[in-house]
Amino acid sequence: MFDKNPRVLNEELIASYPKLDKNAKFKFHCHPGVECFNKCCNNVNIFLTPYDIARLRKALGITSSEFLAKYTILPIASNLRHPIVMLKMDDRTLDCPFLGENGCAVYQDRPWSCRMFPLGVASPNEAEKLNNGEEFYFLIKEDVCKGFEEDKEWTVDEWFDDQNLSEYQELGELFKEISLHKFFVTARAIEPVKLEMFYMVCYDIDKFRKFLFDSTFFKRFDVDDERKEKIRTDDAELIRFGFEWLRFSIFGEKLFNLRKDYLDLDKHKVK
């Protein structure tokens, strides 16, 4: 299996790769003329971030629930502390569902890990163990990939610009903080209702938006009108808000206050 995703590489392997910083140079060029064109989009591990799903479902004109049902799988493993979502390869050919004759059919909205390839990024744990806590990058060299034999040269920074990775970075970093939160390491057992909340907030974002606006949520919690409007129309803001909600509802961080008028109403009910 070809792995575009640095998160599934093991630490020993990462330790053996040269460490790259943002100014480090590497040679690579992927284009329709390479003999391996499209080969890396078969039988590949692609983990999806919340922003990947927001972009893909919008590009396809479907809801997040439809996207998740049709295009993803939820791997089950005893070491997984919260749900993760992967692209489902075609049952017969093992091709990525978005692979077309001319390459990636969702190229403008392709996932973060497809943009990053051939670069991998160390997780905070790996950076701590292998590079004194400094984030670093490395090249994922796969035999099938002939892009490394091409002459085009990049710095890591230039690659990020070329792949429009900055749009993905902020929300990716916030997602990393949520998914690697110490709660998931230290909690003895995590109630199913919390895991369902995690899944809805991180992946089924249209359902989360509906939950916010169709329930009494905004009557109960103090959220200013400007932000509420942004959450209604802007997927990135919805995702940011969702991460705050998970910090409050799962990790117990004091990020939300009940509205004063709701509290007063509640007092009256009690009387």
Judged by CB, which is closer to ligand SF4: 41, or 201?
41
Which helix (H) or strand (E) segment holds residue 211: the answer is helix 205-214
Q: Does 37 bind ligand SF4 (CB under 6 A)?
A: yes
Based on the shown chain and the rule CB under 6 A, indicate whether residue 246 belongs to the binding site for ligand SF4. Answer: no
Q: Any contact of residue 180 with ligand SF4 (CB under 6 A)?
A: no
**CB nearer to ligand SF4: pick between 118 and 242:** 118
Is residue 144 near ligand SF4 by the rule CB under 6 A? yes
| Interaction between residue 96 and ligand SF4 (CB under 6 A) | yes
The number of residues making up the chain comes to 271
Least separation in angstroms between CB 43 and ligand SF4: 10
Under the binding rule (CB under 6 A), the answer on residue 106 touching ligand SF4 is yes
Nearest to ligand SF4 of 17, 98 (CB atom): 98
Window of 17-25, 94-102, 163-171, 258-266 that interacts with ligand SF4 by CB under 6 A: 94-102
Contact mark string toward ligand SF4, 47..86, x via CB under 6 A: ----------------------------------------
What character string, x for contact with ligand SF4 (CB under 6 A) and - otherwise, covers 182-221?
A: ----------------------------------------
Judging by beta carbons within 10 Å of its beta carbon (0-12, 13-18, 19+), is residue 18 exposed, middle or buried?
A: exposed
**Residue 23: φ, ψ to 5°:** -100, -5
With CB under 6 A as the contact rule, the residue among 8, 9, 24, 34 that binds ligand SF4 is: 34
**Does 8 help bind ligand SF4 (rule: CB under 6 A)?**
no
CA-CA distance, 141 to 118, in Å (whole number)? 7
- Exactly one of 14, 20, 30, 122 binds ligand SF4 (CB under 6 A); that residue is 30
Phi (first) and psi of residue 78, to 5 degrees: -65, -25
Beta bridge partners of 100: 103
Cα(first)–Cα(last) distance of the chain, in Å?
64
Both structure tokens of 35: 């003999």
Residue 175 buriedness (CB in 10 A; 0-12 / 13-18 / 19+): buried
Q: Determine, following the binding rule CB under 6 A, whether residue 140 of this chain makes contact with ligand SF4.
A: no
Q: Under 8 Å CB-to-CB from 140, ≥6 apart: which residues? A: 3, 4, 6, 9, 117, 118, 119, 120
